[in-house]
Amino acid sequence: MKTVIQRVSKASVTIEGEKVASIEKGLLILLGVVNEDTQEDIKWLSNKIGNLRVFSDENGVMNRSLKDIDGNAIVVSQFTLHASTKKGNRPSYIKAAKPDIAIPVYENFVKQLEIDLGKKVQTGQFGADMKVELLNDGPVTIMIDTKNKE
């Protein structure tokens, strides 16, 4: 799995004019899935994100996690994170998992993150044309790939 994680003051997801998810202070998590992703990857990534110290403490140092601040999260599926741009100008998405594999991984990741955070995690809708609005705080943007754990 690949993720782009953005620390936000607020974020929302709108589908066909209807706001389906909205948070205040927390993380917007864009998630891309490949065929090889496993339950181990899901657990590792969820734990990593929940404990990632990207929020400021009383001294202005990024020393607090989403758990520490009781922040919220939105997870949005984004197969384009696995785009290959090696050849030509049209990205190839051949590495991205097809929906029959990606949807269960995506849903299991959301469930695991809810367990790790101890609260409901909001989401977009898999495969939908979504409008994602955010106010990036910092800006702080982190990329994580479960294939590069070491």
84-113 per-position pLDDT tens digit: 999 999 999 999 999 999 999 999 999 999
Task: Report pLDDT digits (tens) over 22-76.
Answer: 999 999 999 999 999 999 999 999 999 999 999 999 999 999 999 999 999 999 9
Is 78 inside any structural domain?
yes
Task: Round the average pLDDT of the chain to a whole number and report it.
Answer: 96
User: Residue 52's domain spans which residues?
Assistant: 2-144
User: Hey, how many other C-beta atoms are within 10 angstroms of the C-beta on 93?
Assistant: 13
**C-alpha closest to that of 7 among 53, 45, 60:** 53
Give how many domains the chain has, as a whole number.
Answer: 1
Question: One of 79, 109, 122, 123 is an active-site residue; which one?
Answer: 79
Is 127 inside any structural domain?
yes
| pLDDT given for residue 67 in this prediction | 96
Residue 126 annotated as catalytic: no
Query: Which residues have a Cβ under 8 Å from the Cβ of 60 and sit 6 or more positions away?
Result: none
Residue 6 annotated as catalytic: no
Residue 39 annotated as catalytic: no
Is 149 inside any structural domain?
no
Is 150 inside any structural domain?
no
Read off the CATH number of the domain in which 78 is found: 3.50.80.10
